[in-house]
């Protein structure tokens, strides 16, 4: 089974900061990597699919990069509504869809 890790597990940042979250797969998953944002009490929301494709309606300050085993989600200028938990998810080894443990972004 493919294992997913994320770093950091949490971070504190200020509005306007550039934020980078890393996701690593235990084996190569090509570009089969998705990113989700989840706010407390809400369902996850798709941000990025296929490692770098921005989902329709998602602000352009969000971007994704990487392939193989190492991936990055970047928020270029953190906004108040971006404080949330972010999850990566591999879709290479299906039907098992593995999520990373999450990265919580809170206010410094």
Give the footprint of other proteins on this chain (CB under 8 A): 31-32, 34, 36, 38, 42-46, 49-50, 53, 55, 87, 89, 91, 94-102
Q: How far is the CB of 53 from other proteins (least distance, A)?
A: 8
Question: Contact, 93 vs 29, CB < 8 A?
Answer: yes
Burial of 55 (0-12, 13-18, 19+ CB in 10 A): middle
Task: Quote the strand ranges of the chain, DSSP E.
Answer: 4-7, 10-13, 19-25, 33-38, 45-49, 53-54, 62-67, 70-75, 85-90, 98-99, 103-107
Cα dihedral value 40, 44, 46, 52, nearest 10: 70
Q: Which is nearer to other proteins, 60 or 94 (CB)?
A: 94
Of 17 and 101, the one with the shorter C-beta distance to other proteins is 101
User: Is the Cβ of residue 16 or residue 41 nearer to other proteins in the bound state?
Assistant: 41
Kindly tell me which of 42 and 108 has the beta carbon lying closer to other proteins: 42
- Shortest Å, Cβ 41 to other proteins: 9
- Smallest distance from other proteins to CB 28, Å: 14
The least distance separating other proteins from the CB of residue 95, rounded to whole angstroms, comes to 4
């Amino acid at each position: 089974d493919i294992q997913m890790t994320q770093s950091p597990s949490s971070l504190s940042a200020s509005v306007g900061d550039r934020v980078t979250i890393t996701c690593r797969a235990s084996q190569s998953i090509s570009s089969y990597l998705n990113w989700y944002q989840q706010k407390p009490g809400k369902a996850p929301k798709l941000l990025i699919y296929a490692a770098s494709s921005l989902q329709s309606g998602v602000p352009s300050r969000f971007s994704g990069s990487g392939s193989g085993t190492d991936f990055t989600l970047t928020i270029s200028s953190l906004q108040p509504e971006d404080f949330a938990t972010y999850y990566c998810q591999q879709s290479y080894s299906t039907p098992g869809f593995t999520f990373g443990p999450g990265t919580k972004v809170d206010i410094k």
